[in-house]
């Protein structure tokens, strides 16, 4: 029995030990020079918390997101291919999220069908799509996920094209991926060097095959007639087709946030795809104030990217996010320990959040505001405005 995961960094270190290198790099890596990937985390470190003394609060982390009551303002972001990381896959992640009183967004390319998640985990659930396949496929998919009991739809805007993942290229994984003898030999050597992962996958091979085949059957092969980017007209069209909650993911400016609201989004997710799409895009925490200001009360605002500790959650909520999503942290947990690994990562966030909220003297997410924040090193750059002024 491995020791419990105590931090996201723990989970990452274990994922690195367990996974074949190509899979770890797929999860861990970002686009191009990974500038935005690093900036996401750094932006949180550059902001300090101004604790309130002389108060002792009973912390209640409960909140609502689009009318849905959550015990924890931390959701699991849609992540593709998670079925390859551990046989518990998307079902395990959804179960862990439900156990923590929150929810997981199922990626269209998680390699697990919405029906399988819905059958295994009490809903309602949220699903994420991109533009692949065009309107006909999107329409078919919306009907399918609605019938499966999904009531929230996350529409990702920041691709295609996918980001340029240089780590994948270095492993010889060059899109469109073809199983050439050279690539197969390379990946087989990596699998041999990851015996725990290989054994778990071999044990679950039959179930895994059924899950992946089921997902591929349900979701199509993603081969689009033309894999175009969604436009605001597409979002307005989806709004007409989809009666449930509609979230638009990948917004980084006030202008785009307003466009999303005009197109009918109920919420925007401030996201740069975890630094996996456009390298050089701003850190999400720095984009958040402009977006929150632009939408006001017209929509809810969520954020993802670089959230590694509860203090990051507190900072994002203080700047106007209703909740955050975590991508890599939960995938590391899944790789490290399957469903219980994801549950442990969520528990790390819950316990750290309770402690941090007590330390800053704020009882609930609703008590968090920008007054809680300042620049970590306002004296570093004389003459420049402090982070507090910028926020
Ligand atoms: C392995 C992996 C796969 C991902 N696949 C998708 C996807 O299929 N759809 C999507 O909208 N975002 C996808 N993302 C981006 C996440 O939804 C999220 O925006 C990002 O991971 C947040 O940053 P973080 O990893 O620093 O928490 C993926 C991220 C990772 C790490």
212 pLDDT above the threshold of 70:
yes
pLDDT, average across residues 237-257? 98
86 is catalytic: no
43 pLDDT above the threshold of 90:
yes
Around ligand 1, the residues with Cβ closer than 6 Å are: 27, 40, 77-80, 107, 109, 128, 156, 249, 271, 273-274, 276, 304-307, 326-328, 331
The answer to whether the Cα torsion of 233, 234, 237, 243 is positive or negative is negative
Distance from Cα 156 to the centre of ligand 1, integer Å? 10
Distance from Cα 238 to the centre of ligand 1, integer Å? 22
The pLDDT of residue 282 is 97
- Long-range residue pairs from 169-173, CB within 8 A, at least 24 positions apart, any chain: 170/25, 171/21, 171/22, 171/25, 173/22, 173/26
380 pLDDT above the threshold of 90:
no
The pLDDT of residue 181 is 86
Distance from Cα 79 to the centre of ligand 1, integer Å? 5
For the record, the structure tokens of 166 come out as 């240089």
The pLDDT of residue 177 is 80
**Candidates 9, 44, 77: which one to mutate for ligand 1, based on the most atoms within 8 Å of Cβ?**
77
Best CA proximity match to 240, nearest among 264, 269, 267: 264
pLDDT, average across residues 250-277? 98
385 pLDDT above the threshold of 70:
no
Mean pLDDT across the chain: 93
Distance from Cα 78 to the centre of ligand 1, integer Å? 6
The pLDDT of residue 224 is 47
Domain ranges of the chain: 8-390
Query: What percent of the chain shows pLDDT beyond 70?
Result: 94
The answer to whether the Cα torsion of 67, 69, 74, 79 is positive or negative is negative
Place of tokens 């008590």: 367
Which residues are within 8 A (CB) of 276 and not within 5 positions of it... i.e. 6 or more apart?
Answer: 29, 30, 31, 37, 162, 163, 165
Give the number of the atom of ligand 1 that is nearest the alpha carbon of residue 28. Answer: 31
Give the number of the atom of ligand 1 that is nearest the alpha carbon of residue 274. Answer: 23
Segment 296-320, tens digit of pLDDT:
999 999 999 999 999 999 999 999 9
Work out the number of other CB atoms within 10 angstroms of the CB of residue 21.
18
The fold of the 8-390 domain, in CATH, is TIM Barrel (3.20.20)
Is the separation of the CB atoms in 169 and 261 below 8 Å?
Answer: no
Residue with the smallest CA separation from ligand 1 atom 8 is: 80
Residue with the smallest CA separation from ligand 1 atom 14 is: 79
C-alpha to C-alpha distances, 206 to 19, 89, 163, 220, nearest whole angstrom: 20, 14, 32, 21
Which residues are within 8 A (CB) of 250 and not within 5 positions of it... i.e. 6 or more apart?
Answer: 156, 157, 158, 269, 271, 272, 273, 277
d(CA 64, CA 75): 12
Asked whether the bond before 203 is cis by omega within 30 degrees of 0, the reply is no
Is the separation of the CB atoms in 34 and 279 below 8 Å?
Answer: yes
The answer to whether the Cα torsion of 189, 195, 196, 201 is positive or negative is positive
Give the number of the atom of ligand 1 that is nearest the alpha carbon of residue 27. Answer: 1
Is the separation of the CB atoms in 85 and 27 below 8 Å?
Answer: yes
d(CA 44, CA 313): 9
d(CA 338, CA 345): 11
Residue 152 has, within 13 A of its CA and on its CB side, a CA count of 23
Segment 123-159, tens digit of pLDDT:
889 999 988 788 999 999 999 999 999 999 999 999 8
The answer to whether the Cα torsion of 205, 122, 23, 165 is positive or negative is positive
**Model-level pTM?**
0.95
Looking at residue 49, what DSSP letter applies? E
Give the number of the atom of ligand 1 that is nearest the alpha carbon of residue 326. Answer: 27
Distance from Cα 80 to the centre of ligand 1, integer Å? 7
- The pLDDT-based confidence of 281 (bands split at 50, 70, 90) is very high
Looking at residue 105, what DSSP letter applies? E
- The pLDDT-based confidence of 222 (bands split at 50, 70, 90) is very low
Best CA proximity match to 278, nearest among 134, 136, 159, 155: 159
């Amino acid at each position: 029995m491995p020791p419990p995961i105590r931090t996201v960094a723990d989970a990452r270190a274990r994922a690195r030990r367990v996974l074949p290198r190509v899979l770890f790099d797929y999860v861990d890596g970002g686009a191009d020079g990974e500038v935005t990937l690093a900036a996401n985390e750094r932006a949180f470190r550059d902001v300090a918390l101004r604790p309130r003394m002389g108060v002792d609060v009973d912390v209640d982390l409960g909140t609502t997101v689009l009318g849905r009551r959550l015990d924890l303002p931390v959701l699991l972001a849609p992540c593709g291919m998670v079925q390859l990381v551990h046989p518990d896959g998307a079902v395990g992640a959804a179960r862990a999220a439900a156990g923590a009183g929150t929810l997981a967004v199922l990626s269209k390319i998680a390699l697990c069908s919405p029906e399988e998640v819905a059958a295994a985990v009490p809903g309602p659930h949220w699903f994420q799509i991109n533009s692949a396949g065009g309107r006909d496929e999107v329409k078919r998919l919306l009907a399918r996920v609605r019938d499966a009991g999904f009531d929230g739809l996350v529409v990702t805007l920041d691709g295609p094209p996918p980001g340029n993942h240089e780590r994948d290229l270095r492993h010889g994984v060059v899109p469109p991926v073809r199983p050439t003898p050279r690539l197969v030999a390379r990946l087989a050597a990596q699998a041999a060097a990851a015996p725990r992962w290989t054994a778990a996958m071999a044990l679950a091979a039959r179930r895994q095959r059924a899950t992946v085949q089921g997902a591929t059957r349900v979701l199509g092969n993603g081969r689009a007639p033309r894999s175009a980017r969604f436009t605001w007209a597409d979002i307005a069209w989806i709004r007409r087709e989809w009666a449930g909650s509609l979230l638009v993911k990948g917004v980084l400016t006030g202008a785009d946030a307003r466009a999303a609201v005009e197109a009918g989004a109920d919420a925007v997710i401030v996201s740069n795809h975890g630094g996996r799409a456009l390298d050089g895009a701003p850190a999400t925490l720095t984009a958040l104030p402009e977006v929150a200001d632009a939408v006001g009360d017209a929509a809810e605002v969520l954020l993802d990217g670089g959230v590694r500790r509860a203090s990051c959650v507190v900072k994002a909520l203080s700047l106007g996010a209703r909740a955050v999503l975590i991508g890599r942290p939960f995938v590391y947990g899944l790789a490290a320990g399957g469903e219980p690994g994801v549950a442990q990562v969520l528990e790390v966030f819950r316990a750290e959040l309770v402690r941090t909220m007590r330390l800053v003297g704020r009882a609930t997410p609703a008590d968090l505001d920008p007054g809680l924040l300042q620049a970590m090193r306002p004296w570093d750059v004389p003459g420049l405005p402090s982070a507090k002024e910028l926020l």
